[in-house]
Amino acid sequence: MQVEIQYRILVNQIKTLIMKKKKFLYLFIALISVACKAQQYSLNTDYENIPNNSHIKDLNNEYNKFVGTWKATLGNKEIYIYVTKQEDRLISRLTKTFFRDVLLIRYKVLISNQIVENTTSFTNENINIISMATEDNSVIFTYTGGKCTVGWGIISTEYIDSTHLKWNYQPQSTMITNKNCPDYPAGGIKINLPDEPKDLIFTKQ
C-alpha cells in the first residue's frame, strides 16, 4: 500500500514537472514569435531605418498579382518574362544586412522564332532582375545587364489588370566600355530586352 502511494506521488510530481515544462515551452515560443514579428516591416520601409537582420515583408501580398508568365510581341520579336516571388532574400548593403521579400524576373527573347537570349535557367543567386521597391500599383526592378553588364538599368512594371502589365525599361548603359570582359563578342553586344516603345503591354499566358 505504501509503495502504491509513493508511486502515485511520484507520478503526480512527474506530471507537474511536465506541465511546467510545457508552459515554459509555450511561453518561449510566444516570445520568439513576438520578437520575429517585431522585426517585420512593410515593403517600402527604408532599410536604413531598421535594425540589422530585420525582415522587409510583403505583408499585404502586393507581389502576388505580378507572379506568372507574361508575353509581349514587337514585330518579329517575342519577349517572355517569368515573374516569381522569393521570400526573405538576404540583402547586404554597406551599412546594413537584412532580409527582403522580392520579385525575380527571368526572361526569354526570340527573334523570328530563334532564341537570342534566355535567362530561364538562372538560379536565384545569379538572376539579374530583382525588385527594389513598390509604388502604387507598380514594382521597380534593378537590372544588372546582360552579357558584360550591357543594358544595366531600371525596369518598371505596372499592374493594369489580371491579364495585362505595363513595362518600361530605362537602360543606363547601351554599350560596353570595358573590352576586357571575357565574354565580349567580336560583333558587339545588343540589348534584347525592349526599351522602346514606352508603356509596352505584356499579356499573361
**Residue 19 pLDDT exceeds 80:** no
Residues 51 and 7 in one domain: no
**Residue 93 pLDDT exceeds 80:** yes
Residues 98 and 23 in one domain: no
pLDDT-derived band of residue 31, with 50, 70 and 90 as boundaries?
Answer: very low
Q: What percent of the chain has pLDDT over 70?
A: 75
Residues 28 and 86 in one domain: no
**Residue 27 pLDDT exceeds 70:** no
| Residue with more model confidence, 24 or 16 | 16
pLDDT value of residue 181:
75
| Residue with more model confidence, 28 or 182 | 182
Rounded distance between C-alpha atoms, residue 36 and residue 30, angstroms: 10
Residues 119 and 29 in one domain: no
Burial 160-199 (b: 16+ CB within 10 A, else e): eeeeebbbbbebeeeebeeeeeeeeeeeebebbbbbeeee
pLDDT mean across residues, the chain? 84
Residues 83 and 133 in one domain: yes
Q: How many domains does the chain have?
A: 2
| Residue with more model confidence, 98 or 32 | 98
Residues 11 and 55 in one domain: no
Residues 164 and 121 in one domain: yes
Residues 12 and 82 in one domain: no
Which range (9-13, 50-54, 117-121) has the least confidence?
Answer: 9-13
Residues 117 and 72 in one domain: yes
Residues 124 and 182 in one domain: yes
Residues 21 and 64 in one domain: no
Residues 105 and 26 in one domain: no
| Residue with more model confidence, 69 or 28 | 69
**Residue 126 pLDDT exceeds 60:** yes
For the segment 39-71, what is each residue's pLDDT rounded down to a tens digit? 899 998 988 889 999 999 999 999 999 999 999
Residue 138, domain extent: 47-204
**Residue 191 pLDDT exceeds 70:** yes
pLDDT value of residue 146:
85
